Structure 1
Amino acid sequence: MDLRTVNVTRYIMPLREGGSLPALAEADDDFKYVVKFRGAGHGTKALIAELIGGEIARALHFRVPEIVFLQLDEAFGRTEADEEIQDLLQWSRGLNLGLHFLSGALTFDPIVHQVDVQTASQVVWLDALLTNVDRTIKNTNMLMWHKELWLIDHGAALYFHHSWENWQKQAVNPFLRIKDHVLLPYASQLEEADNRFKQILTEEKLQEITDAIPDDWLTWAEEGETIQDLREVYFHFLKERVHHSELFVKEAQNARKALI
């Protein structure tokens, strides 16, 4: 998997309030990107979740904005007037992550926008796999662009990596929080999604995606662990979740029955 690397040339504006402070910026390829900064909130772990979540979604043929590596120069942001943003930019020197900006896209609203049961089931399956806690009615993290559904913002996925304790046990977690998923009421074809997606997410594909994690983002190794050890944990976590997908599929089905 070959992701492009570009350089940030202009900070345009912060996109919303909150701990992560993503921003709209321009790069030296003349495109605009939504930037996720390594110096924000959960640091590089949020960038890893964004990378893995987005590229797994792309492998499953969802529409996802192009993901790029964004290089932030040491001198960048020194003239920024807002002290909080200036600090964020200074803490984020080096390799960050960007998603191609979808100009004019609308936030997905389940009351306004219709999603067919196949698509709903597939998105629910994806988020159950990724243990993504952040695709709810309050924050759908989906966009409508040119009348098509696009998935964004997977930084809250893979929450096991915030502790690293018992990751093997967490890999077979049925993911109870799927009950809050915005598309769960419409997800009536979870078994069909399961059968299809397990064929796509081979060990080779998962290895390809986890191999794309930059060494520079794997800097919290415990004593005796190497960067490659950490990368392998992500691979084995995902492999186990795919292998035991019946656990989270059943949980989602039960949660849906309780809703409808």
Structure 2
Amino acid sequence: MTFEVKQTSEGWAGVWERPKTFQSDGEKFFDVSGPVVSHETLEVKIEGDTCELTFNEGGSPFVLHVLDADRAELRHPAFQSEPAILERTTGQIALGPWDPNATYRRIFARPNNPEMAAIFEADQAARRFKAGQNVDWAALAIADRERRHRVQQLLDSGELRSGQDFHYAAFVFQHGDQATDYLKAHALAVIAVARGESQAVWIAAATLDRYLQNIGQPQIYGTQFSKRGDSWTQEPYQRDVLSDALRRASRVPDLAGQQKQLENYEQRGIR
């Protein structure tokens, strides 16, 4: 697609050129076929570095936000994902031809957030207990709560973008104290996997198990072990919901491996 915005003697005007037919889920485009069609704007509003282009009567406008001299972000309600990055072009751009059987994927710029990485490291460091160390659980709970609050701020402001960001955020919320914390951690892990962080499939499984047990339902993967009295248990655990093949695909040990984990906890006297 191309978008042209220019100032004329009558004011600002815009043109949107695109393939006549296409489908998109915001991440990729498919069923793309020509010819190229052009749509002129019905209205253009410019305020500072932001431009709204309305092409259809009663339709929602495209919103372009200038990032620098050569790039702008494009948002539209039809694309329920991250904004597209538009690059300035010079001269006439020839669109197409397209292969209607091909899938065209967007290229995303998703840099890792260094603050999220630092929060994750602090979360993990706080849990590297040494033998014989007395843990101040009350202080840890307060620190965990502060970390979750800051991660929520980063999420709300759109500052977490990469698969790694969401993977780390899932760990922070997994260390929450409410069922909604674990459910949110699961949602974050799902996004991490969708954005290429394949190893986040384990935390997606673990957070779902933790959520289920927290609301009084049995876990289904078998990631949760707890001490009751003098022995360890995974209960409540509904083992027949998933196959061992699905567990392994989620980077979770199969039932035989989990039994060995349980025996190891008992033998080591892990508390």
TM-score for the superposition, normalised by structure 1 = 0.25
Of structures 1 and 2, the larger Rg is shown by: 2
Structure with more strand by fraction: 2
- Normalised to the residue count of structure 2, the TM-score between the two structures is 0.24
Q: Greater relative contact order (Cα 8 A, min sep 6): structure 1 or 2?
A: 1
More helix by share: 1
